[in-house]
Amino acid sequence: MFNAYAQVTAALDRAVTGLPAGRSKAVYAKNCHAIVPCTDEAYANDIAARCREAVGCTANINGKSIAVSLDADTLASLLRKAMAGAEQSEREPDGDTDEGYAELKLMTLARKGDRGLCDTDGIKRAAWLLMGVTAYPQDAKRTAARMKEAALAVREMLKDIPTKERESIRRECGLIGMAGSALMSAGRKIIGL
């Protein structure tokens, strides 16, 4: 199964080889997807620049770490790869659970087709958390926890969008719907639902 978290952190680690930086780590913060520790602040700008070159992202210096936020195009590419490798459950989602409701919502959005990924913070956060659902297929408890986080992110992904703009944004959410529903289904298969 494709692990987007491992792909991103490996690319970041390769990019900063030779610089005073620790191993990168995938995170689930609101506007941050990974952190690269910087052991010597004098090199922070160099580390941030290499991170930007390695993956499509912004890289902001926060003291002794670099906060990496992936751009919509990079996340869309990762979503497509994750979706292609997701082994789906044969059962239908249970709409009475938060996770099942989120999956059904994603299935509805999937009908819009792949038009890329909207460049909004809520949608990018949901995309990143959805990719986390299948990041650890050998750990059912971790997968279940990731599914809960992803379901909440899906529920809130349009929350900060003004009501008048939501319908036009929804029309552009086919990719997250397609990939997200596949990843949530794969998560159900991992945990045995």
Give the domain-ending residue among 26, 45, 70.
Answer: 70
Query: Whole domain around residue 174: which residue ranges?
Result: 73-191
Same domain, 101 and 181: yes
28 band by pLDDT with thresholds 50, 70 and 90: confident
Same domain, 112 and 148: yes
- Amino acid letter, 170: R
Q: Is 63's pLDDT higher than 90?
A: no
Measured CA to CA, the distance from residue 185 to residue 31 in angstroms comes to 26
What integer pLDDT is reported at residue 75 of this predicted model? 96
Distances (CA, A) of 59 to 24, 55, 143: 12, 10, 28
The residues facing 37 across adjacent strands are 65
* Residue range 53-68: mean pLDDT, rounded: 92
Instruction: Give the predicted TM-score (pTM) of the model.
Output: 0.92
Q: Give the model confidence (pLDDT) of 167-190 as tens digits.
A: 899 999 999 999 999 999 999 999
Q: Is 31's pLDDT higher than 90?
A: no
Same domain, 78 and 62: no
Measured CA to CA, the distance from residue 2 to residue 23 in angstroms comes to 20
As for how many domains the chain has, the answer is: 2
Same domain, 45 and 127: no
What integer pLDDT is reported at residue 143 of this predicted model? 96
Same domain, 82 and 30: no
Give the domain-ending residue among 41, 70, 99.
Answer: 70
Same domain, 62 and 88: no
* Residue range 118-144: mean pLDDT, rounded: 94
Same domain, 55 and 147: no
- Cα-Cα-Cα-Cα torsion 104, 116, 87, 6, nearest 10 degrees, comes to -120
What integer pLDDT is reported at residue 181 of this predicted model? 96
Give the domain-ending residue among 36, 70, 104.
Answer: 70
What integer pLDDT is reported at residue 193 of this predicted model? 81
